[in-house]
């Protein structure tokens, strides 16, 4: 947990598989559209950081919620915002860099191999 009270998870503590149709466990990717298009975790949900306030209805309030960005900074700010609004988010330390660095899959929207 950081000094704001938002839990932090090292990549080893983050589930390795997500299903974007599953509201019980969500990997919320808050990177920009171009970053998402280059590559993302399979099953992640994409809501860019600047869109989160307007799109909060798309985030299940009772989900086991992991928030990820490129390296962990933006996701930390989004996680703090979500926590102030009644969610129980966990920030993914190291972001997609850590995800890819751990050898986890990175895909494009068409199912090809992506890059971070």
The residues annotated with a catalytic role in the active site are 69
What are the beta bridge partners of residue 89? 65
Region for residue 39 given its phi and psi (left: phi exceeds 0; alpha: psi -120 to 50; beta: otherwise): left
Spell out the residues 6+ positions from residue 84 whose beta carbon is closer than 8 angstroms to its own: none
């Amino acid at each position: 947990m950081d000094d704001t009270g938002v839990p932090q998870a090292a990549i080893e503590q983050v589930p390795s598989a997500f299903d974007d149709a599953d509201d019980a466990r969500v990997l919320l990717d808050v990177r920009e559209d171009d970053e998402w298009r280059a590559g993302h975790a399979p099953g992640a949900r994409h809501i860019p950081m600047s869109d989160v306030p307007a799109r909060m209805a798309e985030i299940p309030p009772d989900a086991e919620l992991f928030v990820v960005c490129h390296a962990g900074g933006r996701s930390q700010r989004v996680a703090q915002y979500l926590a102030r609004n009644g969610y129980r988010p966990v920030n993914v330390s190291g972001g997609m860099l850590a995800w890819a660095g751990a050898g986890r899959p990175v895909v494009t929207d068409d199912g090809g191999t992506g890059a971070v």
